Structure 1
């Protein structure tokens, strides 16, 4: 019947929308994770550079002091 066909079509449409929503949500989570990992690597690199500069600065202060 027409009502049953309509219900079936709407049910399939809802399933399709829910599946797509789930896929998009996962894509967003994956992208967010990748961005966070990149940011963390950059912060670690900056921390290493800062430590190197700090160490160099300490050596220069000691050198100048003598």
Structure 2
């Protein structure tokens, strides 16, 4: 096998491994972002602040029900 062909294969393998690494990193970071966004959406919609602390409101704003 010629030296030039070996170098081409090396760069091809390097590019494929780099691409696979970037895809895996992107998937893992998106999963974390989705979990954080879901939590904060839940928190904004269901956790109510009161003078003595916070509670989970399972009712409506007009008629709160503490969980």
Same fold, TM exceeding 0.5?
A: yes
TM-score (normalizing by structure 2): 0.67
Runs in 1 of length 4+ with deviation above 3 angstroms? Answer: none
State the number of aligned residues. 54
Taking structure 1 as the reference length, the TM-score comes to 0.68
Taking CA–CA contacts closer than 8 Å with sequence separation of 6 or more, which of the two structures ends up with the larger relative contact order? Answer: 2
Bigger Rg, structure 1 or 2: 1
The structure carrying a bigger helix percent of its residues is 1
CA root-mean-square deviation: 2.2
Gaps of 5+ in 1: 57-66
